[in-house]
Amino acid sequence: MNFTLKQAIFTVLAAIIIVGGYFSWQFISKETQPTAPPKNYKIGFLVLTEKDAQNENFNGFKSQMGKLGYKEGVNIEYIMKIATRDPGALDKAAAEANEAGWDIILVGSTSAGEALKKLPDLKTKVFFLAAGRPKALVENFVAPEGLITGMGEPTAEFAGKRLEFLKELIPSLKKIVSIVDRGHATGLAFVKSMEAAAAPLGLKIEIITAENPGDLVNKIPLIKRDGGTVAYVACSCPSNTQHPKELADYFLKNKMPSISDEVEIGARIGWLATYSNDRRKAGERGAVLVDRILKGTPISKVPVEIANDVLLEINLNTAKTLGITFPQSVLSRANKIYQE
């Protein structure tokens, strides 16, 4: 087959364009891939219980770190240090974590962060993935003053939102009951938030005090239905998080509306609803910030952020037992609906 000069030139130009396009695509593809971190980083998780180690903050964090180029067993190692709730155990674990030589310590609670902050010789950077009281850890959110920064979560502030949700769902609601652990700092902030939100909604607040997490089971019978005008709002206290099924079963048996702030132990196990910040998204955002720190950004240049993605889950089977019908406006904004 004979080519004219014009056809030959066209063929050569087409080949150049195709080859050039291929190598350009390869270059752009490589440029858009996350740069693999240059060393084997060690990240320690300081948590209070085994359950805390499985929360969605940490799951979201590890997932996003993988997308950023941190591959477990290749260039990053996660070390879980589980303290107990025994007296002095958290302080001891915090001191050991500070001496472990990790690149950064992650915590999932204000109390774990406080244990690190009060160390006289804190030398390891700390990032909190979930702190209901971030002001207890960092004074200046814009320019953190020490070695600590992270993601705050509006645990207490959302208590008022839960009241608004319940009042919207049950207009006849008159009273909110909560069991709160004595002296628990986040619990006190939770109560203040509820009290501030209750008055405009025409609701009364009844607080039942638990002396310790184990005391909750003794306090549950004190929660009275009072003709169907009472609902329960969970406190982010150890007692509530350690005995969620006992609470859920009691509320179902007594046909009492209930709302939790914990995804894994709320609507999923029989509570009427769960209203929380989206902890997985908070963990993913936390990974982006930790990546900056690992790459050399000073803590003072990593402002504290407050998670504000709302997560709503509802249980239709519980609603049916309680004789409650979720309006379409609620169903349409629910992130997850349990039907059994």
pLDDT tens track for 170-202: 999 999 999 999 988 888 888 988 999 999 999
**What CATH number is associated with residue 95?**
3.40.50.2300
Q: Where are the alpha helices (DSSP H) in the chain?
A: 5-32, 56-67, 89-98, 110-117, 157-169, 185-201, 216-219, 238-242, 244-253, 279-294, 316-322, 328-331
Residue 34 inside a domain? The answer is no
Residue 152 β-bridge partners: 131, 306
- Token readout for 323 is 């004789």
- Residues with Cβ < 8 Å from 95, sequence gap 6 or more? 119
Residue 206 inside a domain? The answer is yes
50 and 177 co-located in one domain: no
76 and 101 co-located in one domain: yes
Q: Give CA–CA dist 192/198, Å, rounded.
A: 10
164 and 259 co-located in one domain: yes
AA letter at 175: K
73 and 136 co-located in one domain: yes
Task: Report whether 165 contacts 108 (CB < 8 A).
Answer: no
Q: Specify the pLDDT at position 184.
A: 84
Task: Report whether 294 contacts 104 (CB < 8 A).
Answer: yes
pLDDT at residue 280 greater than cutoff 70: yes
Q: Specify the pLDDT at position 7.
A: 58
274 and 140 co-located in one domain: no
Range scoring the smallest mean pLDDT among 6-15, 241-250, 284-293, 324-333: 6-15
271 and 292 co-located in one domain: no
Q: Specify the pLDDT at position 215.
A: 93
Q: How confident is the model at residue 50 (pLDDT cuts 50, 70, 90)?
A: confident
272 and 330 co-located in one domain: yes
pLDDT at residue 34 greater than cutoff 60: no
Residue 16 inside a domain? The answer is no
Residue 20 inside a domain? The answer is no
AA letter at 290: V
205 and 267 co-located in one domain: yes
Q: Specify the pLDDT at position 57.
A: 87
pLDDT tens track for 67-103: 999 999 999 999 999 887 777 899 999 999 999 999 9
Work out how many domains the chain is built from and give that number: 2
Q: Where is mean pLDDT largest: 20-29, 58-67, 158-167?
A: 58-67
Q: Closest by alpha carbon to 278, among 304, 306, 311?
A: 311
73 and 128 co-located in one domain: yes
Q: What is the mean pLDDT of residues 95-121?
A: 94
115 and 214 co-located in one domain: no
172 and 271 co-located in one domain: yes
How many helices and strands (H and E) does the chain possess? 12, 13
Rounded to two decimals, what is the model's pTM? 0.76
179 and 243 co-located in one domain: yes
Q: Specify the pLDDT at position 66.
A: 96
% pLDDT > 90, the chain? 60
Q: What is the mean pLDDT of residues 104-125?
A: 94
Task: Report whether 176 contacts 166 (CB < 8 A).
Answer: yes
Domain that includes residue 81, residue range? 41-153+279-306
